[in-house]
């Protein structure tokens, strides 16, 4: 019976977003710190989905609960799709968000506006304790800004410019970001999958 869903993240920004994106699902959202879970999962996958599955399965097996994990990142056309699956470790494992996007801006300094296309991509995997898993994906197109802007969001949001909104993702109100972001789109697809196929059968 799927009545509790462990959200496999310790990232406060992701925790805040998932709490909003998955609200009103007929399950109780559970967080790792509530169960005393401290799991380090080596992200050795070649794709966002592979990394998300590694995390979801590890948390499901360690907790005995159904678990949801995501892996997401930034693909920059002028950098051949980098940083990609290495987005969180782009400037080293201990770097801050500002250091990561600062390095990105430095490497993009000579790239003209018409070649600064980029996208955020997110994969979400839900895993059962018995090893079954389901995946959804979402993407959000934009471009790399010349300089950071905005105090909202986290990660690379301050340098991800969204032409249709005329601002960076960090400038967007949370209620709009949670409709249009890569994570929102993957979560919306997973919500439908949970309601239609997973929760009814447990």
pLDDT: which is higher, 43 or 163 = 163
pLDDT of residue 201: 77
What Å distances lie between residue 15 and 76, 122, 150, CA to CA? 25, 15, 20
Count of domains in the chain? 1
So which residues are the catalytic ones? 71
CATH of the domain at 114: 3.90.950.10
pLDDT band at 25 (very low <50, low <70, confident <90, very high): very high
Residues 138, 127: Cα–Cα separation, whole Å:
18
Query: Nearest Cα to 27, choosing from 2, 62, 51?
Result: 2
Helix (H, G, I), strand (E, B) or coil at 190: helix
Query: Six-digit token pair at 55?
Result: 């995390």
pLDDT at position 47 over 80 = yes
Q: Which domain holds residue 86?
A: 4-198
pLDDT tens by residue, 119-177:
999 999 999 999 999 999 999 999 999 999 999 889 999 999 999 999 999 999 989 99
């Amino acid at each position: 019976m799927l009545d509790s869903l462990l959200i496999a993240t310790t990232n406060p920004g992701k925790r805040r977003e998932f709490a909003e994106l998955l609200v009103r699902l007929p399950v109780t959202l559970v967080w790792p710190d509530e169960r005393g879970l401290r799991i380090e999962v080596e992200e050795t996958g070649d794709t966002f989905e592979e990394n998300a599955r590694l995390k979801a399965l590890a948390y499901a097996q360690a907790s005995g609960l159904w678990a949801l994990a995501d892996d997401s990142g930034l693909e920059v056309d002028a950098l051949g799709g980098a940083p990609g699956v290495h987005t969180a470790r782009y400037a080293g494992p201990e770097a801050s968000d500002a250091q990561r996007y600062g390095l990105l801006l430095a490497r993009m300094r000579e790239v003209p506006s018409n070649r600064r296309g980029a996208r955020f991509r997110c994969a979400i995997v839900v895993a059962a304790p018995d090893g079954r898993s389901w995946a959804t994906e979402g993407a959000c197109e934009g471009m790399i800004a010349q300089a950071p802007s905005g105090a909202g969001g986290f990660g690379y949001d301050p340098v991800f410019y969204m032409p249709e909104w005329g601002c960076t993702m960090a400038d967007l109100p949370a209620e709009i970001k949670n409709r249009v972001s890569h994570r929102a789109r993957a979560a919306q697809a997973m919500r439908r999958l949970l309601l239609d196929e997973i929760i009814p059968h447990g």
